Amino acid sequence: MNWKNEWKPLFWIVFVFSGCFFLPVELERVQGAIMESLHLVKWYAREHVLLCLIPAFFIAGAVAVFVSQAAVMKYLGPKANKALAYGVASVSGTILAVCSCTILPLFAGIYRMGAGLGPACAFLYSGPAINILAIVLTARILGPEMGIARAVGAIVFAVVIGLAMHFFFRHEEEEKAAAAVSMMSEEEVVRPLWQTALYFTSMVGILVFANWGKTDTPSGLWHDIYTAKWIITSVFSVALALMLATWFRLGFVRIFLASLPALLLAIIQPQQPALAFTFGIIGLSTLSNLKSTRDGEMGEWFNESWDFAKKILPLLLIGVLIAGLLLGRPGHEGLIPSEWVVSLVGGNSVFANLFASVFGAFMYFATLTEVPILQGLMGAGMGKGPALALLLAGPALSLPNMLVIRSVMGNKKTAVFVLLVMVMATISGLIYGTLF
């Protein structure tokens, strides 16, 4: 046996064993932190996996199957028009309204199809950061200047981070572009572009409105949309069903049978819309795996979606468990006491802004939850600069998010992306804190 090769596994065995041996499970804070991690992962599974991630997996799978590599390279590739590529990527979050985890399958889909690193990273940042609902809520609760600063900062961040990533890894991007061009072949156009566009619009509509957040006011446009969210989601679902029946030639009978359980549950249990939504997903998955559809476009769509799910979902759940253990849920504590956080983000020092950026980057924020959390922190003494730094770093990053990005881009690119977000958030917080 060559012991030189065995030192590393021996070290990890001893390290893990020592951690288990001396684990202070008798401490109340440790017990509470373990419960917080379980509570957070339970909440995440209930609120985000069914309504957010699964539709996102299907959209990402559809990108891989129904969007040609030539189209991705033309509009988002390393050689694409920079104004168009970064312009589209930097404002994509205004229509997606997703969190830092839901954007991951979509990012992985376009990146794997040949999108340039810069536009893909701009899309990865902007997706959760430029949520129009969150910006409006920020302006209403934390003040209009904070809302404007968040909106402008997020768009600028997306472009600058994308350009910086492209610059740092430009040689790899050139090689990637050359390899993609040499491997690309002429693809047969199965259906017109407008049909593909409507098909994706229906799925994005389902994703957005199924997750439309409740507002703090009992009236107004946002509240009216929230009240009708499941009706709007149903309209998009019916539109998708009609497209699958006609343009994808699945037939009305099979579509009706696949959607019948969801339809019956929507009628019998209208107060549990997520149940009908779940059976709708099951019906679509079953339809994709029928013997007559398994080898066609539908089978490819399901296979690609499943591939994204099995690669991304385990990493996300592990990351949520760790984040819950360390930081707890919003309003609850993990291993790190909340008073430590508040004491470190007062004023407008470089350290306060940097700490807010790092804390925000590792903590998991569901869509719209960052605003009330910040309201509480600012009430406890958090400075305006660190508050903006957290707003610009927090929604776009999280520990689960980083684990998945690493599996897609690798260690070096992930580290540079995360550092760019933290550094820019820190600088923005310093500037904002000085001005206001």
Residue carrying the six token digits 């199924």: 210
Would you state the pLDDT for residue 177?
Answer: 66
Buried b (16+ CB within 10 A) or exposed e, 225-250: ebeebbebbbebbebbbebbbeebeb
Total domains in the chain come to 1
Tell me whether residue 268 is in a domain: no
Tell me whether residue 14 is in a domain: no
Q: What is the pTM of this model?
A: 0.76
> In angstroms, what CA-CA distances link 307 with 105, 236, 263?
10, 25, 28
Structure tokens of 250? 């699945």
Tell me whether residue 349 is in a domain: yes
Tell me whether residue 41 is in a domain: yes
Would you state the pLDDT for residue 224?
Answer: 87
Tell me whether residue 417 is in a domain: yes
Cα 165 from Cα 160, distance rounded (Å): 9
In this prediction, the residues of the chain whose per-residue pLDDT falls under 50 are none
Cα 344 from Cα 334, distance rounded (Å): 17
- 127: nearest Cα among 108, 148, 142, 146: 108
Would you state the pLDDT for residue 366?
Answer: 67
Sorted by sequence, the CB contacts under 8 Å of residue 175 that are 6+ apart come out as none
Residue-range definition of the domain harbouring residue 416 = 28-183+193-250+293-435
- 134: nearest Cα among 100, 94, 102, 103: 94
Cα 392 from Cα 356, distance rounded (Å): 10
pLDDT tens digits along 249-260: 888 998 999 999
Would you state the pLDDT for residue 243?
Answer: 93
Tell me whether residue 152 is in a domain: yes
Tell me whether residue 165 is in a domain: yes
**Torsion, Cα of 223, 225, 231, 232 (10° steps):** -160
**DSSP 8-state symbol, 107:** H
Tell me whether residue 258 is in a domain: no
SS3 214: coil
Would you state the pLDDT for residue 143?
Answer: 84
Cα 394 from Cα 416, distance rounded (Å): 17
Would you state the pLDDT for residue 190?
Answer: 65
- 404: nearest Cα among 307, 319, 325, 304: 319
